[in-house]
Amino acid sequence: MATAILHSLKQGAYTAIALYVVFIAVVTIVSLNPQLSTPTSASAQSSVVALERATDQAKGRAS
């Protein structure tokens, strides 16, 4: 019984360490490549274009 509990605790520790290593790797990669976490300029530009079109349509309907 004690052996099974010890084995379970070891497996949990290994899992926790593996998840921690993956977390550190992801944080490191994202911090070294800031373009991964910020929206691209193309998507920002398309949002502005869509907003301008909606404004123009609203002005056309109002007049």
Q: pLDDT digits over 20-59, tens only? A: 999 999 999 999 987 876 666 555 556 677 777 777 777 7
Q: For residue 14, name the pLDDT band (cuts at 50, 70, 90).
A: very high
Q: Which of 34, 53, 37, 33 is nearest to 45 (CA)?
A: 53
Q: For residue 62, name the pLDDT band (cuts at 50, 70, 90).
A: low
- Provide the Cα torsion 53, 55, 61, 63; round to 10°: -120
Q: Give the DSSP letter of residue 37.
A: T
Q: Which of 44, 46, 47 is nearest to 35 (CA)?
A: 44
What distance in Å separates the CA atoms of residue 44 and residue 36, rounded to the nearest whole number? 15
What distance in Å separates the CA atoms of residue 17 and residue 24, rounded to the nearest whole number? 11
